[in-house]
Amino acid sequence: MTSEKEKMLKGELYSYNDNELITDRTKCKTLCFEYNNTNFSEIERRSELLKKILGKVGSNCLIEQTFQCDYGYNIEIGDNFYSNHNLLILDCAKVTFGNNVLVGPNCSFFTPEHPIDVETRNSGKEYALQIKVGSNVWFGGNVTVLSGVTIGDNSIIGAGSVVTKDVPANVIVAGNPAKIIKYL
């Protein structure tokens, strides 16, 4: 029998009220609370906590407090990653970041999707689609990236953008929804 967690990880419809998933979220949110309440000067402690929270952490990674995520184990971060304050990642599906990624303040990455059908949605079921971010990507402040999106290498996402579709490599996108405004 397939568990709700296995369904979630496969991108299938699953119950987010499942006890195993609630336990996983509680563990992750407890670690995020500890991370967010660690003194800024405790760089090594913060680094240790990120390694406990995230599925993969490259070298030279810094996430300014506050940081929130659902599970943590679905997040993979490459080398030279920096995020300013208030990073939110709803990682019901995998979220991967390449190397040399800069994330401005108040950015959000959302993998869960709720069914359009009201009865299914009200039953406590959802599904999630992964987000992939290439290398050398810069996100301005207040950017939201929605589920199923892939962002190509060397691209820039303008402040305040809502990214609803894939972004090719070597472009600047901005707006709501984000559209290409310049080729690099």
Alpha-helical segments (H) within 2-113: 4-10, 19-36, 43-53
Our answer to whether residue 85 is catalytic in this structure is no
What Rg, from alpha-carbon coordinates, does the chain have?
16
Of 155, 104, 114, 112, which Cα lies nearest the Cα of 133? 155
Q: Which of 51, 52, 56, 114 is catalytic?
A: 114
Of 35, 3, 7, 38, which Cα lies nearest the Cα of 19? 3
Q: How many residues does the chain have?
A: 184
Q: Which positions are catalytic?
A: 114
